[in-house]
Amino acid sequence: MSFEDDGSQKPSIQALKTKPLERSFALARLGAGAGAKIVAHSIANIFRGEIDRDQANREFYRRQAQVLADELGKLKGSVMKAGQMLSLYGQYFLPEEAVTVLSSLQDDTPPVDWRIVAPVLQRALGRHRLRELEIDEQPMAAASLGQVHRAYRRKDGLALCIKIQYPGVADAIESDIRTLSRLLIMTRLTPKGLDLTPVFNEVREMLHREVDYESERHFTETFAERLKDDPRFVVPRVLGEYCSDQVLTTTFEHGHSVRQETVQTLPQARRNRLGHAFLELFLTEFFRWGMVQSDPHFGNYRIRVDEQGEDDRIVLLDFGATRIFGRGFVESYGDIVRGALSRDRDLILRGAKAIGLMQESFPRSVLDAFAQMCELIVEPFNAANDPRTPESLRNAKGEYRWGDSDLPMRVGRVAALNALSIHFRVPPREIVFLHRRLAGVFIMLATLRCELSARDTLLCALEESARSSAE
């Protein structure tokens, strides 16, 4: 959950359905309504032509997904977070219309009334500790599993962020996952015959991690320690005396959203430095540490603009989605990247097969198409004189113009034209989260309208990774 305050005041939820039975009943009622709509839609399709039927199906998927998203938003907790995760996994098996609607769960979340979360804070910290704080009852950010309140420590005025977990969300995870999996089948949003057990197993594991505030505290402190000597980054300090298994308190770290005018109007050189720092951080996390903060939501990153000069800094927030990647996975993924940079398709496929992205049984055309897609994805890291990079995406110095690039759409076309989705249904879970962050890196650099060549940065990260593996 990000600590971004967008200034909006959404109506707060006055009551939470926290008991498994009442949550299951709410979802079951939704499923029953969906069943009746499916019957009506199927009958109407009999009388439609092929084109009208396709349009009707698209609209049907959109409506079904919208109803599902609306209900999940009201329930909060793990079932809503699971819906968010489905929008991430769903790009591989859900209708495009459903993915678009479910993605809205990422950002449009009403807060919960203070009287619901206040008892959680009181039980966690006790009255003595609470008297040390002055807390704003209006949350500055709200998400599916908890919300953040601004606070001040009375003795010295230290500004704080207090993240409070919604009551009952941890206990409802197992029931929510079972109910949601049945609901997806009832709404007919998933293809027939597709086994979603691995997807829901991963969602379940992810949910248990995200309600583990002690783990999030550990990762926050770990990132702070590893980046303490890097002046480009700011990580909030954890105040352990105001933490528990349901409460996480850190210092409040000010900054601007990357989309705000203050950041967007910075000189090109300063935006380039910010973009380079953001990219280098991701490469360091993955190739050196094997520890990646995998949620690329813009609210998790703030820009602290240096009013006196050029020492702008990136404030890093929310480490609840941090994932650990095994050395073997990192090495094999590195083979894919090295192969893509050098146009060595055997190396690309060796790495892809090692981590389960490709299989020996796939047709040669599919393997070649996958290798072609990988070679296209590394376009921003091509040499400055590489003729495969469109001239319009290079400035006079040969630097890549991230803000003008249509690379994601071109990659999508390659995948669609070669029917990769037929063989590439639901990828290994590590890939889903890694590519989630990787996409976030591209979007960040595009939003900053960076113009920079990152080839040497990537090659350096790959070399360091190889040295680490050899030691």
In a domain, 270, yes or no: yes
Q: Are 142 and 217 in the same domain? A: yes
In a domain, 232, yes or no: yes
Q: Are 260 and 290 in the same domain? A: yes
Q: How far apart are CA 130 and CA 132, in angstroms?
A: 5
In a domain, 273, yes or no: yes
Q: Are 119 and 132 in the same domain? A: yes
**β-strand pairing of 301-304 with 313-316:** antiparallel
In a domain, 158, yes or no: yes
Q: Are 130 and 84 in the same domain? A: no
Residue 263 C-alpha from the chain's centroid: 22
Computed from CA positions of residues 122, 126, 128, 129, in that sequence, does the dihedral angle turn out positive or negative? negative
Centre a 10 Å sphere on the Cβ of residue 263 and count the other Cβ atoms it contains.
21
Q: Are 244 and 263 in the same domain? A: no
Q: What is the CATH number of the domain that holds 216?
A: 3.30.200.20
Q: How far apart are CA 109 and CA 154, in angstroms?
A: 30
Closest by CA to 97, choosing from 105, 106, 87, is: 87
Q: What is the pLDDT at residue 256?
A: 95
Q: Are 185 and 314 in the same domain? A: no
Looking at 253, 269, 303, the residue that finishes a domain is 253
This prediction's pTM: 0.80
Q: Which amino acid is at 356?
A: G
Q: Are 290 and 438 in the same domain? A: yes
Q: Are 258 and 239 in the same domain? A: no
> 3-class SS at 109?
coil
Q: Are 259 and 249 in the same domain? A: no
In a domain, 200, yes or no: no
> 3-class SS at 401?
strand
Q: What is the pLDDT at residue 271?
A: 96
**β-strand pairing of 451-452 with 159-165:** unpaired
Q: Which amino acid is at 405?
A: S
Q: Are 249 and 317 in the same domain? A: no
Task: List the structure tokens of 380.
Answer: 């921003």
Range of the domain at 75: 20-109+171-191
Closest by CA to 286, choosing from 427, 458, 42, 90, is: 458
Which residues, 6 or more positions from 10, have their beta carbon under 8 angstroms from its beta carbon? 108, 109, 110, 111, 142
Looking at 253, 286, 304, the residue that finishes a domain is 253
Q: What is the pLDDT of residues 133-187, one digit of tens each?
A: 999 999 998 877 889 999 999 999 999 999 999 888 888 888 777 777 776 766 6
- Below-70 pLDDT ranges, the chain: 1-109, 183, 185-194, 415-428, 470-471
Task: List the structure tokens of 34.
Answer: 């969906």
Looking at 253, 285, 302, the residue that finishes a domain is 253
Q: How many domains does the chain have?
A: 3
In a domain, 83, yes or no: yes
Centre a 10 Å sphere on the Cβ of residue 411 and count the other Cβ atoms it contains.
16
Q: How far apart are CA 116 and CA 118, in angstroms?
A: 6
Q: How far apart are CA 387 and CA 345, in angstroms?
A: 19
Q: Are 313 and 459 in the same domain? A: yes
Helix (H) or strand (E) segment spanning residue 218? helix 213-226
Q: Are 423 and 435 in the same domain? A: yes
Task: List the structure tokens of 249.
Answer: 């308190």
In a domain, 202, yes or no: no
**β-strand pairing of 159-165 with 146-153:** antiparallel
In a domain, 179, yes or no: yes
Q: What is the pLDDT of residues 391-411, one digit of tens each?
A: 999 999 999 999 999 888 888
* 463, 468, 469, 471: CA torsion to nearest 10: 130
